[in-house]
């Protein structure tokens, strides 16, 4: 491949990224690479938090199951990482003949690109693979930035719960057509703690409470399916929609179970050690059923009224003045 041919190929791949949908653009770039190389399959494997390379996308035309491909990639990862790119020809398994691995590293994480059976008549020098790695780094950095910004726009950074933007989108998507349980939670005397101790202590109060809520209503469970770990949605959605205000929308737990879990969570919060002696803390809640004929705003008002009653009772229980 000469210099002009490479630049043409580079421009084709980069052109695919000139879209608001960066992830789809990256996939289009891989398809361009696949067509250019005349390859059977091109798969991008990303290193996860456990140090394993994984990819859950499975092309129906693959001659090897994805879990086996991931296993092969991980077994040879150390060689790939040290050499950058290499070629495997396993004569004992004809469907693996002509398999190439390319190691690509960004500031965020590591990747391995597996290329199966490229056109043997396509003469590609080492310089091409080096340029391809540079090109893929640009594409992956753009995709990582897009993913990070998308997460930042939907996730509350302090608690890692979904934020108010996500909550508003969820409410719009429900569109008064679904049955679910709706719960509001807030932290007892957070403002008092912020004003009299520190916002750092208040942030710790918020963050540790979110962990307790996530324990009772996790967004995902991890299950092993065909040898691969997968995130399975639970039907629970937790949001931090204000300084001390959380919302639960769940289609899985009934109202009795949500109220039971809420009381258990509140008990855990009340026993939390914030490092301040004799400081009353707690978690207030209001939980209601939302039926498809209900208005969401009315559901919120009903839950908020129950929360206010719970908060009033807690002030009485501790013998505190609500104005302080």
For residue 231, what pLDDT is reported?
81
Instruction: Report in angstroms the alpha-carbon separations of 273 from 3, 155, 199, 280, 317.
Output: 65, 26, 16, 11, 20
For residue 286, what pLDDT is reported?
97
Instruction: Report in angstroms the alpha-carbon separations of 173 from 47, 69, 235, 304.
Output: 33, 37, 14, 21
Helix (H, G, I), strand (E, B) or coil at 43: strand
For residue 95, what pLDDT is reported?
61
Count of C-beta atoms within a 10 Å radius of residue 55: 17
The domain spans of the chain are: 3-151, 164-318
At 289, which helix (H) or strand (E)? Answer: strand 283-290
Beta carbons within 8 Å of 107's beta carbon, 6+ residues apart? 141
215-224 — which CB contacts under 8 Å span 24+ positions? 215/265, 216/261, 216/262, 216/264, 216/265, 217/248, 217/250, 217/253, 217/261
CATH hierarchy code of domain 164-318: 3.30.70.270
Q: Which CATH superfamily is domain 3-151 in?
A: GAF domain (3.30.450.40)
Q: Which two tokens stand for residue 239?
A: 């949001």
HSE-up (13 A, CA, CB side) for residue 223 = 7
Helix and strand totals (H; E) in the chain:
10, 11
Domain 3-151 shares a fold with domain 164-318: no
The per-residue DSSP string of 190-201 comes to HHHHHHHT-HHH
Count of C-beta atoms within a 10 Å radius of residue 180: 20
Using alpha carbons, select from 110, 178, 101 the residue that is nearest to residue 140: 110
Using alpha carbons, select from 241, 320, 323 the residue that is nearest to residue 279: 320
| Dist. CA 60–CA 55, nearest whole Å | 14
Query: Does the predicted model carry a pTM greater than 0.85?
Result: no
Beta carbons within 8 Å of 208's beta carbon, 6+ residues apart? 269, 272
Per-residue model confidence as pLDDT tens for the chain (324 residues): 556 666 777 777 777 666 666 777 777 888 888 888 888 888 899 998 788 898 866 555 666 777 788 888 998 898 888 888 777 776 555 566 678 899 999 988 999 998 888 887 877 777 778 888 888 888 888 888 877 776 667 888 889 999 988 898 888 777 656 789 999 999 999 989 988 998 899 999 999 999 999 999 999 888 877 677 778 889 999 999 988 999 999 989 999 999 999 999 999 999 999 888 888 999 999 999 998 777 788 888 999 999 999 999 999 998 887 765
């Amino acid at each position: 491949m000469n210099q002009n041919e490479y630049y043409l190929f580079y421009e084709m791949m980069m052109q695919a990224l000139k879209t608001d949908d960066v992830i789809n653009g990256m996939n289009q770039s891989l398809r361009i690479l696949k067509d250019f190389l005349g390859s059977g399959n091109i798969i991008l494997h990303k290193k996860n938090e456990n140090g394993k390379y994984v990819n859950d996308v499975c092309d129906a035309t693959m001659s090897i199951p994805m879990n086996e491909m991931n296993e092969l990639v991980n077994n040879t990862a150390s060689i790939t990482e040290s050499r950058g790119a290499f070629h495997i020809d396993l004569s004992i398994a004809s469907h693996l003949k002509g398999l190439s691995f390319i190691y690509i590293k960004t500031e965020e994480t590591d990747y391995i690109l597996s290329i199966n059976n490229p056109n043997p008549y396509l003469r590609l020098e080492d310089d091409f693979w080096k340029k391809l790695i540079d090109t893929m780094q640009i594409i992956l950095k753009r995709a990582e930035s897009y993913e990070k910004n998308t997460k930042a726009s939907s996730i509350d950074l302090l608690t890692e719960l979904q934020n108010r933007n996500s909550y508003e989108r969820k409410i719009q998507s429900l569109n008064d057509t679904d049955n679910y349980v709706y719960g509001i939670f807030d932290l007892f005397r957070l403002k008092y703690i912020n004003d009299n101790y520190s916002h750092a202590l208040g942030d710790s109060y918020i963050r540790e409470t979110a962990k307790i809520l996530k324990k009772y209503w996790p967004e995902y469970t991890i299950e092993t399916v065909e040898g691969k770990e997968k995130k399975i949605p639970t039907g629970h959605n937790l949001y931090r929609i204000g300084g001390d205000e959380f919302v639960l929308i769940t289609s899985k737990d009934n109202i009795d179970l949500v109220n039971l879990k809420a009381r258990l969570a509140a008990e855990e919060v009340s026993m939390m050690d914030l490092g301040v002696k004799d400081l009353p803390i707690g978690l207030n809640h209001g939980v209601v059923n939302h039926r498809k004929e209900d208005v969401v705003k009315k559901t919120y008002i009903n839950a908020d009224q129950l929360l206010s009653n719970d908060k009033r009772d807690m002030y009485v229980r501790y013998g505190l003045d609500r104005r302080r």
